[in-house]
């Protein structure tokens, strides 16, 4: 039976340097935009030499896609964990919405990277492995949302006339995405305007979406889930 090879010190060092480069690139690209970032800046922020950055990533496009893939993997794991915690379909989709808002608050650079990728459809046609991995991760993340809606239709927690689960999942994603961004950009002014800061705006929005999705209780019955 072959002995499993353990990662050596050299492999660990390589992964550490890759991580340094990806973190530095993520922060700079999220703040300045892909077109305004150079390998020299990334190297300085990562505290590595520019030739070493080129050794790991041949061009900025490849580095960007790797960084987005890393960010999306984090988002996908958050959605998976959130979905598991829900007992009914409506609870699952509500938890996923909150997980997306937390992703924005806790990892703003990663959120911005995913948004930059979404706003540049040309990146999706990249022949590299990172772009292919992103397509797979995006589909899996979408399916988590759509499947939560299908579960809600099956268990009666989501109204039967809500529409196609894939379309509903897309609309919900757009709504929570907008809530998270608006809350981050204008939280203090919205607090003054209507008493809704960043987190309360998201909660109010998710509550409104929930009320639009939830099934009416049977006569004399109670609504499913929180209420």
Please report, for the chain, the start and end positions of each structural domain, with discontinuous segments joined by +. Answer: 10-58, 59-213
What percent of the chain has pLDDT above 90?
Answer: 61
pLDDT for 123: 67
pLDDT tens profile 103-144? 999 999 999 999 888 887 676 666 677 778 888 889 999 999
Q: Which residue has the higher pLDDT, 160 or 2?
A: 160
**Domain 59-213 belongs to what architecture?**
Orthogonal Bundle (1.10)
pLDDT at 227 over 50: no
pLDDT at 226 over 50: no
Identify each DSSP E strand in the chain by its residue range: none
Q: Are 93 and 152 in contact (CB under 8 A)?
A: yes
Task: For residue 162, give the 3-state DSSP assignment.
Answer: coil
pLDDT at 149 over 70: yes
Of 38-52, 79-93, 121-135, least confident by mean pLDDT is 121-135
Q: How much is the pTM?
A: 0.83
CB-count exposure of residue 218 (10 Å: 0-12, 13-18, 19+): exposed
pLDDT for 91: 95
Which fold would CATH assign to domain 10-58? Arc Repressor Mutant, subunit A (1.10.10)
pLDDT for 1: 46
Over range 147-158, report the average pLDDT. Answer: 96
pLDDT band of residue 176 (cuts 50, 70, 90) is very high
pLDDT at 73 over 60: yes
Over range 93-112, report the average pLDDT. Answer: 94
Phi, psi of 16 (to 5 degrees): -65, -45
Mean pLDDT of the chain: 87
Report the phi/psi class of residue 47: left, alpha or beta, with left for phi > 0 and alpha for psi in -120 to 50.
left
């Amino acid at each position: 039976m072959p002995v499993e090879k353990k990662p050596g010190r050299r492999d660990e060092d390589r992964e550490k340097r890759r991580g340094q480069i990806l973190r530095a690139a993520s922060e700079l690209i999220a703040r300045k935009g892909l077109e305004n970032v150079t390998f020299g800046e990334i190297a300085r922020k990562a505290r590595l030499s520019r030739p070493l950055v080129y050794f790991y990533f041949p061009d900025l496009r490849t580095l960007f896609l790797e960084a987005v893939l890393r960010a999306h993997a984090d988002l996908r794991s958050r959605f998976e964990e959130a979905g598991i915690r829900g007992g009914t379909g409506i609870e699952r989709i509500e938890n996923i919405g909150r997980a997306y808002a937390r992703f924005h608050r806790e990892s703003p650079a990663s959120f911005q990277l995913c948004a930059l990728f979404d706003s540049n459809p040309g990146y999706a046609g990249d022949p590299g492995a990172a772009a292919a991995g992103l397509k797979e991760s995006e589909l899996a993340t979408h399916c988590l949302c759509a499947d939560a809606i299908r579960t809600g239709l099956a268990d009666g927690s989501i109204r039967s006339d809500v529409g196609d689960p894939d379309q509903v999942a897309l609309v919900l994603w757009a709504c929570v995405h907008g809530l998270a961004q608006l809350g981050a950009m204008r939280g203090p002014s919205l607090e003054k305007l209507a008493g809704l800061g960043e987190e309360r705006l998201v909660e109010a929005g998710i509550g409104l979406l929930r009320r639009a999705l939830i099934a009416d209780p049977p006569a004399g019955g109670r609504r499913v889930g929180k209420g």
